[in-house]
Structure 1
Amino acid sequence: MNVPTTRKAGRLKSRLAAAVLALSACVSGFATDASATTLLAVPHSGLRILDPIITTAHIVRNHGYMVWDTLLALDSEFNPQPQMADYTVSDDKLTYTFTLRDGLKWHDGTPVTAEDCIASLQRWGTRDTSGQVLFDKTESLTAADEKTIVLKLKEPFNYVLDVLAKPSSVVPFMMPKRVAETPADTAVTEIIGSGPFRFVQEEYQPGVKAVYEKFEDYVPRSEPASWLSGGKVVKVDRVEWITMPDAQTALNAIQSGEIDYVESPPVDLLPLIESNDELTVKILNTLGSQTMGRMNFLFPPFDNKQIRQAALKALNQKDVLDALIGNPDYYTVCGSVFGCGTPLESEAGADSLIGSGDIEGAKALLEEAGYDGTPVVLMQPTDVVTIKAQPVVAAAALRAAGFNVDMQAMDWQTLVTRRASQKPPAEGGWNLFFTNWIVPEIMTPLNNPMLNGRGTQGFFGWPTDPALEELRAKYIAAGSLEEQQAAAAELQAHALDEVNYIPLGQYKNPSVWRNELSGLLESPVPVFWNIEKKED
């Protein structure tokens, strides 16, 4: 009767051995300074794309914060703060002057200039939802001298500072001019920034390992660190991101001391580590994230509004969240496209999502729309804990409603690359994928990448929706919180009627780290400054 226990112990030993072998493979092949302090971290996904402007993938954004810096940054009270630059605003609210602070250098030792930042902003502004709006309202963006950037508006736009300080989804990272002049639809190849860490490109193994070294010439701000603002004081010599797609392997590795930090362990595995007094388990992104589905508006069947509505009716949040998180202590059924607990929270148009779905209603809409069985190519990432359950639940619900679902398994970085394709689904394109947003990314109509009706200029899926753009403009023009809330509720009702996307609820993922680490910051983005590692 002890056979199951013996087998379980054997499997545990095998997994631990696999963790050690995986780690050994990742860290072998180069020499390091024996006195250097190295932090070994398991991120939520492997890093395969290095340009944070051409994708909204969070792993690439996280990489961006290691290497690059921003003119402004958001603090924990949602206030934009100076980061690379201090600023003044003219009395008529039409001129914003940014002055680069002293000591800013690129990783090649050359000084950061205003011309670098202007080129960076222009490249970012062609890709980002809120950046597009900012440049719509910009009359000129010029350099008054080597350290001074002058932004002149055509009309007052009260969100300039918020847009430049936003933590996602496409962050306005500053790059050298020669790099920022790369076309916005082409990935940069020179990974050089002015941020607190230097990317060690010669040790980069795509999807397997990424290495960062402390940038010795980085001069932190003097203010205390708060979210992504304040002093980015680096207290370790190296940070290595080691990809471990199997969550059990990663948790075995951190318990054995082979790894220092795991970004997002599955909630259902937390009982395996919560009793380990050598580990700390804590939620660092206290606002949490929204999970969602996005359709491709360019091709059948989701170029048909009724068929999109049928898909929305077939899904419900609780089924998705139960599969994704399991423990209701870590998730919230939330009908708001702007996130729950935010000033613009609303449930307009979300009845079926926050209920139990409406399979019969979905079937009726499909019949009325004349759905002909066109396959729905549903991309399913298999290597990221926080994204692999949603497609499975959605496929079952859509099939129950009568959809012909072709679920195709792939790793997340393949999905991130493929979702940029505008080819027909049968030629390597797609119809539906799922992803997650941190709440600060989606909490206003200005920032939310899903709420963009500019067709191929917008986020993957590319809806053309002039009415949505008019409603965004109405929100932007609102003069009070009450007017903003009314405009946002109207926009949400429209977006869910058109099914711009399907919000599937909110969740929080804790991180886990060994107690040798201290100083980890609460932030919507995992950051590695301010962390100290106590050596044995």
Structure 2
Amino acid sequence: MRFVNRSRLPGTGNTRAVPRAAGRILVAGVAMLAATMAHAEEKTLTAVMHSGLRMLDPIVSTAHITRDHGYMVYDVLAAVDGDGAVQPQMAQWDISDDRLVYTFTLRDGLKFHDGAPVTAADVVASLKRWGARDGAAAFLMAATQSIEANGDTTILWTLKEPFPLLLEVLSKPSSVPAFIMPARVAATPADTAITDYVGSGPFVFVGDEFQPGVKIVYERFDDYKPRAEPASGLAGGKVVKVDRVEWVTMPDNQTAISALMGGEVDLIENVQIDLLDIIKSSPDVTVETRDPLGYQVFARMNFKHPPFNDVRIRQAAMAALGQEQVMATMIGNPDYYRLCGAIFGCGTPLGSEAGSESLKAGGDTGRARQMLKDAGYDNTPVVIMQATDLGIIGTVPVVIASALREAGFKVDLQGMDWQTLVSRRASMKPPAEGGWNIFTSFVSGIEANTPLINPILPSTGDSGWFGWPNDPELEAMRAAYLTAPDLDAQKAVAHQIQAHVLDQVIFIPLGNYPFVQARSNTLNDMLPTAVPVFWNLTLAD
């Protein structure tokens, strides 16, 4: 356990001032002593997350670090437990016999961080804003007749037609969870980031100590009332057993490892694979993989601007790429990666690898070059954004740039930090005016394993995901998935989507890998969730 003096100025190492009189020295000394004594018993957990945090709106941004922030500050109506079942979180529900009316009733004791009670009006406003942003929620909202408050604690959700997956969409754990905010905050337009960060979750965001991209601080919300059930997955009682959580940014993994082994930090969310031997040598550290489904690396092209507004040129680019080159460069150790062309995940119920043969075979430069020539490529520069502060992920754009150059593309590889990339990928401007042509990222298995919730699939033009493909055929397939009567029918639709996505190059799957976590042995009882959460865990003295 480390001791924290909250009177420390953000970004400084001490609280000292140089007084002009001895009396002022005495007063300052007494104040510092009082502050130190007041907080001497606080338990502070310090974590190095996979990325710095700049964007604080978990509805506007699909970045995982922003989602993780959302789970600290906000709560949800329903959540998925450790067995994948949907469970009540903020609310219970009843469903009418005709499956058209869902009645949600808020549980007692829900409060926002400013002391105001959580009401049905807050829920309605939050759901409507979420529904305007999320790809899966868009289908749900299209089937919705109304969402209305009936008093302070009851929400009536009325459908035009049955939507069997309503609770699955409402409880989906990632990209984008249906976080509940105060109505005044949820009134913010869905395409505008919020500036008021009051939630009702187990932690309070400490705005005065926020250093964008460097440090973010949370304190336990003492008025949070956990559910009575044991924590399971993202459901159950969110019992916070530490006073304070600090996320700090350390772009250099070796620095982070030294800090963990030296007891300065408690957790590294994502350890660089080629440095594992260093950290495994410490008897005070545990190395583990949290999520068996892992993460899929992918490349996304911009469909709005040349050259990738032409499907033939997208196909030529995909022909040039191979998963082995990407994974070998990114991970190195084959024990920690898997070549997998299934957009819904290899080994999952809906997984298929149709159309990924060239990717798994290693790419074909000669074929890609001929395809590029046949498509009439005019040497338009390809701007590839590279996140230089995201560890191993930063190597992927370098491999892509090299492969595309060999195939005959003119490439402009531009380095930036991840949060700048996350902001820039939202720009629809031409690449020469601050836009882009390709970026790479990763998607977790829990958010990519069905056509409904996979965040990269929505292909509705400007209202879709970054890159903005406009593909009515793909959207019709996704809609067909919703009405498929059984798992076999769902598989048939999912396999059609797999083939279509790779034929049209909606995105390019580049291999799978795990997040390998390292934690101090003083940190225990972390829930085995794909989303890192900071309730339930304990921090020993």
Tell me which interval the TM-score lies in, with the shorter structure as reference length.
over 0.9
Cα distance, 1:508 vs. partner?
A: 0.6
Distance (whole Å) between structure 1 residues aligned to residue 500 and residue 363 of structure 2: 19
1:66-115, Cα deviation, whole Å (9 max, x unpaired): 00011111112221111111111112111111111111000001100011
Cα distance, 1:286 vs. partner?
A: 2.3
Distance (whole Å) between structure 1 residues aligned to residue 351 and residue 115 of structure 2: 46
* Aligned counterpart, 2:483: 477
Distance (whole Å) between structure 2 residues aligned to residue 145 and residue 463 of structure 1: 42
* Aligned counterpart, 1:356: 362
More moved, 318-327 vs 230-239: 318-327
Cα distance, 1:502 vs. partner?
A: 0.4
Out of 318, 327, 346, the residue aligned to residue 324 of structure 2 is 318
Cα–Cα, structure 1 residues 423 and 215, in superposed 2: closer, same or farther, change >3 Å? same
Cα distance, 1:224 vs. partner?
A: 1.6
The answer to whether the aligner puts 1:117 opposite 2:123 as a matched pair is yes
Equivalent residues in 2 for 1:169-208, closer than 5 Å: 169-208=175-214
The answer to whether the aligner puts 1:499 opposite 2:505 as a matched pair is yes
Does structure 1 conserve the Cα–Cα contact (< 8 Å) formed by 2:474 and 2:500?
Answer: yes
Cα distance, 1:25 vs. partner?
A: 8.2
Cα distance, 1:28 vs. partner?
A: 3.1
* Aligned counterpart, 2:13: 28
1:185-234, Cα deviation, whole Å (9 max, x unpaired): 11101111000000000011111110000000111111121121111110
AA of the residue aligned to 1:250: A
The answer to whether the aligner puts 1:400 opposite 2:406 as a matched pair is yes
1:325-346, Cα deviation, whole Å (9 max, x unpaired): 1122221111101011211000
Out of 54, 58, 63, the residue aligned to residue 64 of structure 2 is 58
Cα–Cα, structure 1 residues 26 and 228, in superposed 2: closer, same or farther, change >3 Å? farther
Out of 56, 63, 73, the residue aligned to residue 67 of structure 1 is 73
* Aligned counterpart, 1:252: 258
* Aligned counterpart, 1:127: 133
Distance (whole Å) between structure 2 residues aligned to residue 216 and residue 127 of structure 1: 31
AA of the residue aligned to 1:421: S
Does structure 2 conserve the Cα–Cα contact (< 8 Å) formed by 1:449 and 1:458?
Answer: no
AA of the residue aligned to 1:143: A
1:474-523, Cα deviation, whole Å (9 max, x unpaired): 11110010000001101111111110000111111211111111111111
Does structure 2 conserve the Cα–Cα contact (< 8 Å) formed by 1:261 and 1:514?
Answer: yes
1:375-410, Cα deviation, whole Å (9 max, x unpaired): 000000000124201101111111111111100000
* Aligned counterpart, 1:531: 537
* Aligned counterpart, 1:76: 82
* Aligned counterpart, 1:340: 346
Distance (whole Å) between structure 2 residues aligned to residue 174 and residue 284 of structure 1: 27
Q: What percent identity do the matched residue pairs reach? A: 57
Does structure 2 conserve the Cα–Cα contact (< 8 Å) formed by 1:382 and 1:411?
Answer: yes
Distance (whole Å) between structure 1 residues aligned to residue 343 and residue 167 of structure 2: 23
Q: Secondary structure at the match of 1:167?
A: coil
Cα distance, 1:24 vs. partner?
A: 11
Equivalent residues in 2 for 1:292-331, closer than 5 Å: 292-331=298-337
AA of the residue aligned to 2:310: N
Out of 272, 280, 288, the residue aligned to residue 278 of structure 2 is 272
More moved, 35-44 vs 380-389: 380-389
Cα distance, 1:26 vs. partner?
A: 5.0
* Aligned counterpart, 1:261: 267
Does structure 2 conserve the Cα–Cα contact (< 8 Å) formed by 1:262 and 1:513?
Answer: yes
The answer to whether the aligner puts 1:449 opposite 2:434 as a matched pair is no
Distance (whole Å) between structure 2 residues aligned to residue 277 and residue 459 of structure 1: 44
* Aligned counterpart, 1:159: 165
What are structure 1's unaligned runs of at least 5 residues?
1-22
Distance (whole Å) between structure 2 residues aligned to residue 24 and residue 357 of structure 1: 53
Distance (whole Å) between structure 2 residues aligned to residue 353 and residue 74 of structure 1: 34
Q: Secondary structure at the match of 1:145?
A: coil
AA of the residue aligned to 2:244: R
Aligned length: 513
AA of the residue aligned to 1:422: M
Out of 221, 227, 235, the residue aligned to residue 229 of structure 1 is 235
* Aligned counterpart, 1:416: 422
Does structure 2 conserve the Cα–Cα contact (< 8 Å) formed by 1:54 and 1:186?
Answer: yes
Q: Secondary structure at the match of 1:311?
A: helix
The TM-score normalised by the length of structure 1 is 0.94
Does structure 1 conserve the Cα–Cα contact (< 8 Å) formed by 2:10 and 2:209?
Answer: no
Q: Secondary structure at the match of 1:446?
A: coil
1:227-261, Cα deviation, whole Å (9 max, x unpaired): 21111110000000111111100000111111111
AA of the residue aligned to 1:51: D
Does structure 2 conserve the Cα–Cα contact (< 8 Å) formed by 1:330 and 1:509?
Answer: no
Q: Secondary structure at the match of 1:408?
A: strand
Distance (whole Å) between structure 1 residues aligned to residue 332 and residue 63 of structure 2: 24
Q: Secondary structure at the match of 1:170?
A: coil
Does structure 1 conserve the Cα–Cα contact (< 8 Å) formed by 2:340 and 2:511?
Answer: yes
Q: Secondary structure at the match of 2:94?
A: strand
Cα–Cα, structure 1 residues 51 and 427, in superposed 2: closer, same or farther, change >3 Å? same
* Aligned counterpart, 2:394: 388
Distance (whole Å) between structure 1 residues aligned to residue 335 and residue 230 of structure 2: 31
1:427-449, Cα deviation, whole Å (9 max, x unpaired): 00000000011111111111112
Distance (whole Å) between structure 1 residues aligned to residue 392 and residue 191 of structure 2: 27
* Aligned counterpart, 2:147: 141
Cα distance, 1:363 vs. partner?
A: 0.9
Does structure 2 conserve the Cα–Cα contact (< 8 Å) formed by 1:26 and 1:208?
Answer: no
Out of 334, 353, 371, the residue aligned to residue 365 of structure 1 is 371
Distance (whole Å) between structure 2 residues aligned to residue 348 and residue 135 of structure 1: 31
Cα–Cα, structure 1 residues 226 and 135, in superposed 2: closer, same or farther, change >3 Å? same
Distance (whole Å) between structure 2 residues aligned to residue 166 and residue 325 of structure 1: 29
Out of 413, 431, 436, the residue aligned to residue 425 of structure 1 is 431
Q: Secondary structure at the match of 2:132?
A: helix
